[in-house]
């Protein structure tokens, strides 16, 4: 005998199955026509006098996105090593330590970016690799005094000596 839970499960499963088959067999013209109607209605709603302003420069945003993607890809590879049944314990420990290191470095980079934003009101990109720190600052003014202050601020965050490079982007 089928109880209520099984009956509800079968009913909902069959409904999902029927809708999936309907969606798959739907003609493409109907889908594109429906999407164009939705996009035009969204465009009509967005014709207000609202202005959108972008705070960060395009170069800094591109650097952040590229670096974020690289870190995520590396973490994904390491996670595959962790979940692989054929990996040895040493490989898994190394992968876990590397993931911890990557997340720690990402946290330091974000902390430095926030500190630069707070102190100098500039958007920035910070990349830490071994003992080198690369800082790209979104500022039109290029002066050595500002670069030295940024270098000191970055170096104060580390216990060991770091090689800091500062680049200004307009």
Q: Which of 122, 129, 130, 132 is nearest to 168 (CA)?
A: 122
Evaluate if residue 165 carries a pLDDT over 50.
Answer: yes
The rounded distance, in Å, linking the Cα atoms of 44 and 37 is 11
Q: What is the pLDDT of residues 49-102, one digit of tens each?
A: 455 444 445 788 888 889 989 999 999 999 998 888 888 889 989 999 999 999
Does residue 50 sit within a domain? no
Predicted local confidence at residue 101, as pLDDT: 92
Report strand pairing: 124-129 vs 132-138: antiparallel
Provide the residue range defining the domain that includes 83.
Answer: 58-169
Evaluate if residue 148 carries a pLDDT over 50.
Answer: yes
Q: Provide the CATH number for the domain around residue 79.
A: 1.10.287.4300
Quick one: tokens of 138?
A: 């979104």
Q: What is the pLDDT of residues 100-147, one digit of tens each?
A: 999 999 999 999 999 999 998 888 999 999 899 999 998 888 888 999
Identify whether residues 73 and 34 lie together within a single domain.
no
Mean pLDDT, to the nearest integer, of 1-18? 82
Total domains present in the chain:
2
Q: What is the pLDDT of residues 15-45, one digit of tens each?
A: 887 877 777 777 766 655 555 545 454 455 5
Predicted local confidence at residue 33, as pLDDT: 53
Output the pTM of the full model: 0.62
Does residue 80 sit within a domain? yes
């Amino acid at each position: 005998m089928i109880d209520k839970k099984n009956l509800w499960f079968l009913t909902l499963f069959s409904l999902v199955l029927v809708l999936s088959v309907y969606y798959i067999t739907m003609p493409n013209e109907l889908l594109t026509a429906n999407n164009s109607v939705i996009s035009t209605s969204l465009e009509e709603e967005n014709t207000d006098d609202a202005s959108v302003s972008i705070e960060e420069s395009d170069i800094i945003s591109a650097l952040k996105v590229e670096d974020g993607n690289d870190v995520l890809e590396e973490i994904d590879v390491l996670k595959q090593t962790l979940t692989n049944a054929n990996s040895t314990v040493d490989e898994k420990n190394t992968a876990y330590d590397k993931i911890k290191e990557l997340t720690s470095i990402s946290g330091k980079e974000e902390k430095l970016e926030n500190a630069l934003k707070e102190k100098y009101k500039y958007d920035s990109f910070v990349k830490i690799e071994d003992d080198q720190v690369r800082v790209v600052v979104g500022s039109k003014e290029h002066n050595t005094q500002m670069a030295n202050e940024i270098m000191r601020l970055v170096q104060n965050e580390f216990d060991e000596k770091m090689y800091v490079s500062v680049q200004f982007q307009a």
